[in-house]
Structure 1
Amino acid sequence: MTQGLGPELEHTPGRSYDPTQKPPPFGRQLKQYFALDKEYVNLNHDRTQPDKFHRLLYKPMLVKSRENQEVVAKLIGSDVDEVVFVPNASHAANKVLRNFEWRDGDLVIGPSTTYGQAFNVLKYLSDRSEQPKPTLVSIQYNFPLTDAEIIETFRTQLRQYKREHAGTQFTDVPSLSPGFTADVSARKNKIVAVIDGFTANPGALMPWRELVRICHEEGVWALIDAAHSIGQEPNINLREAQPDFWLSSCHKWFFAKRGCAVLYVPERNQHLMKSSIPTSHEYVSSSRNTCRPARISPNNMNVTPALALREWLGGEQTIYDYCHTLALEGAQRLAQVLSTKVMDENGELTVYMPNVQLPLPIEKQPGQVYSPELIAEINALFTRQLLLEWNTYTTHYFHNGAWWCRCSAQVYNELSDFEYLGKALVATCENVVEKLFS
């Protein structure tokens, strides 16, 4: 039988076959090897009962998904017509960034903490052969930082980039910015900033509302990559914060199944969303005699069970209180076990994802201790030992001269989990020192 599937899958129709045996005759006997309903006579090849789903069942489910949109819109403080579901946060970022009409001289800003895939989209836009294309610049964040330091770093570096491009007319600005004009011919270059709602590594809640305010004051488009926000960050109010775009993953902290994220585009910016990515049946060409903007159809219908589970557990505030308290207490306990420290000592940037330093050598100057090859080797050793020997895992990363771990406190965790993780990390760090630094 097919190797490595496990006994529960080896004999499942549509999942496996015995390559040592002669196949059955073509015809109905082969149906068991395809993911099709046993009783359905299928003459339009796809899975299960594809035409019944697409032609009869899908639309009522889509209406139900609209109800999901209403609930999510209420949760994040937006109008329902400003929210759509997309497969994931990366998909949402691509929808926004690839719908901008770029000019030579445009700038895209990706801070050093931008999630790798999102940063790769920015790199692609600046690397591509098609003209025109924007120039990619970065803002460096070296944690630990306070909210005030993050805000000042962002404002200072943003203004520095504008001074370096003083000859460029940055007049393509959001409608909420001073100097906005409805005259399209008067709009020249633009600046688009991707701003973390949470940074992934380190795990830190960013003062994104204040950064949005700075963007509007400076005439900069703000895309908030809030992949970790929904289900973790309390009191999200997009009507009040007024980002130009905002996205979040429902499958990270909100208990939805994978393949479910939300994209917020306020009505004032929906004219910019000319096409879904990839372009779908819903595309409306600008050459058509119509004023209806193209809209992105919702494609996820699994938020309702997640919402029901969260309500059963006591609701958003109950979940937040437990996970936030556990994150703070768990981080302190982990730091005690490791004999190190918590990155965010006053808890200002911590919601559910605390960061704790690992007991490994600290680098005073870049490249003094850790080469890219050594960093990769240490990461691989951590991954193997934590997963294969200790049956646990936490994100581990090198930042600002030191090694850190980013833990996730969830409703199914307890303080003892942090203590167990601490034992695993102590043993793993000792192994790293013995193998690579002795």
Structure 2
Amino acid sequence: MTQLDFDGDSPAFGHSMLKYFAFDPNYVNLNHGSYGSLPLPVLAACNKLTLHVESNPDLFVKVEQTELITKTRARISKFIGAKMNEVVLVRNTSHGLNTIMRSFEWNAGDVIVTCNSTYDAMQGLARFLHDGPGHPEVSQFVIQWPTSHAVIIAGYRAHLQSIRRHRGQKVVAMIDSITSVPGALMPWQTLVQICKEMGVYSVIDGAHSIGQEMNINLGKADPDFWVSNCHKWLFAKRGCAVMFVAERNQHIVKSSFPTSKVYISPSDRKFPSESFIEQYNWNGTIDFVPPLSISAALDFREWLGGEKAINAYCHDMAMRGGAHLASIFGTRVLDETGEFTCNMVNVQIPLPPSIEPSDAIDDLFQQKMLRPTNRKIKVSASVFHHNGAWWARCSAQIWTELSDFEVLGSVLREVCNEVKREIQAVY
């Protein structure tokens, strides 16, 4: 199946939705949050656009692409409640956050605020910046689940207050809107307001937000910077992301990456944000299909019933599926109140806490879950260690049913036993 018409009514959510995706029939996908999953109707739209581009690349690049990018930006800006002149399209969230963070002119005494749940590549970015010119200090805020939004808010305020301040100092906070592991909704809008009160720049890692978090309104939340992947929960083609830079801060992000031919030296600009949008319209030859697939993804989501219907199903499935998996294991979910849960749920798995996290353990789980030698079914969920226990982060999607959690439970129990045996054999 390479193309499906979705002019008629959409089927009910659940396994009947699987025909709109290209999954191996022996694959149970509970890890959509990591890489996204491309719907076949969106793939068909991408293929059609690819053929159009290849029919006359000169015409597309020199004449058509800027208009199409502008239309896409207009649509996605409205979707996230932002002004169009503050929104550009980039390759992925890591690309956008690197562009932003590397644009600051770091000086001695500057501080980058991270969290122990900050995505590992962004932790690496903070270390890289610390190792570079200016050597900004990295100050880490620690969260240990189970907790509450109220505790996080109070702790974050106290953490920022504890940072010694001096004239001319920059403090830049990297804040997750939804953390990767554990998969948890953060009170990021309130943390943004705390940053404003304390003169701290807020850089929001929204990799998991768009398409999962309801009612994103950047005009109201007013962060300094915000980036989100459209190929995760929104159903666009990998890889594309939307990057928001508040107009007041566009003088900081002086250049796109790579630098565009329309770059203007700050001393020559008529106004601080001159050429900001134009730099991202063209900064080298790329495949323009992924960012332009955003429109097809939004069309598909509207056909499914819109954001409220999609997220109501996925959230309910995450809550019920997580509780069901915990009952299978005789364990617990990380977020029992649901305060942190959008469409990802974290369930403790039967692996002894004495087994320390390592790349080798990660590889064992991936190999045994995705390339089994003793069973036909393959499953995926993100396995991680937090606060003295092992957990599985499960992503609920429009194709998910409770039986998928049962399959995952059966496989994970088997894999945990295999991992324990292999660890014991080594030690």
Distance 1:105-1:413 versus aligned 2 partners, 3 A rule? same
For 2:95, the equivalent position in structure 1 comes to 91
In the alignment, the residues of structure 1 paired with residue 58 and residue 160 of structure 2 have an alpha-carbon distance, to the nearest angstrom, of 48
For 2:80, the equivalent position in structure 1 comes to 76
Preserved contact between residue 353 and residue 408 of structure 1 (Cα < 8 Å): yes
Distance 1:411-1:263 versus aligned 2 partners, 3 A rule? same
Preserved contact between residue 273 and residue 294 of structure 1 (Cα < 8 Å): no
In the alignment, the residues of structure 2 paired with residue 51 and residue 94 of structure 1 have an alpha-carbon distance, to the nearest angstrom, of 34
Q: How does 1:222-261 map to 2 (within 5 A)?
A: 222-261=202-241
1:119 counterpart = 2:162:
no
State the 1:58 CA deviation: 4.9
Q: CA-atom RMSD, angstroms?
A: 2.0
Distance 1:279-1:51 versus aligned 2 partners, 3 A rule? farther
- 2:399 alignment partner, one of 412, 418, 423: 412
* TM, length-normalised to structure 1: 0.78
State the 1:297 CA deviation: 2.0
- 2:410 alignment partner, one of 410, 415, 423: 423
What SS does the corresponding residue of 1:421 show, helix, strand or coil? Answer: helix
Q: Deviations over 1:213-269 (max 9, x none)?
A: 111111100001010000000011111111000110000000000011000112121
Q: Deviations over 1:191-233 (max 9, x none)?
A: 0000000110000000001100111111100001010000000
Q: How does 1:179-190 map to 2 (within 5 A)?
A: 188-190=168-170
For 1:218, the equivalent position in structure 2 comes to 198
- 2:243 alignment partner, one of 246, 260, 263: 263
Preserved contact between residue 195 and residue 201 of structure 2 (Cα < 8 Å): yes
Which gives a bigger RCO, structure 1 or 2 (Cα 8 Å, sep 6+)?
2
Q: Name the count of aligned residue pairs.
A: 360
Which consecutive aligned stretches of 4+ in structure 1 deviate over 3 angstroms post-superposition? 47-52, 54-59, 289-292
Structure with larger Rg: 1
Distance 1:252-1:106 versus aligned 2 partners, 3 A rule? same
Preserved contact between residue 61 and residue 301 of structure 1 (Cα < 8 Å): no
- 1:53 alignment partner, one of 34, 37, 57: 57
1:101 counterpart = 2:105:
yes
In the alignment, the residues of structure 2 paired with residue 49 and residue 386 of structure 1 have an alpha-carbon distance, to the nearest angstrom, of 39
For 1:380, the equivalent position in structure 2 comes to 363
For 2:12, the equivalent position in structure 1 comes to none
Range with bigger deviation, 241-250 or 293-302: 293-302
1:63 counterpart = 2:63:
no
Distance 1:127-1:52 versus aligned 2 partners, 3 A rule? same
Letter in 2 for 1:239: G
Distance 1:308-1:48 versus aligned 2 partners, 3 A rule? closer
What SS does the corresponding residue of 1:222 show, helix, strand or coil? Answer: strand
For 1:288, the equivalent position in structure 2 comes to 268
Q: How does 1:190-201 map to 2 (within 5 A)?
A: 190-201=170-181
Q: Could you tell me the percent identity over the aligned residues?
A: 42
What SS does the corresponding residue of 2:280 show, helix, strand or coil? Answer: coil
Letter in 1 for 2:322: A
State the 1:412 CA deviation: 1.4
* TM, length-normalised to structure 2: 0.80
In the alignment, the residues of structure 1 paired with residue 275 and residue 124 of structure 2 have an alpha-carbon distance, to the nearest angstrom, of 26
For 1:301, the equivalent position in structure 2 comes to 292
Distance 1:114-1:76 versus aligned 2 partners, 3 A rule? same
For 2:145, the equivalent position in structure 1 comes to 143
For 2:161, the equivalent position in structure 1 comes to 159
For 1:202, the equivalent position in structure 2 comes to 182
Letter in 2 for 1:382: F
What SS does the corresponding residue of 1:407 show, helix, strand or coil? Answer: strand
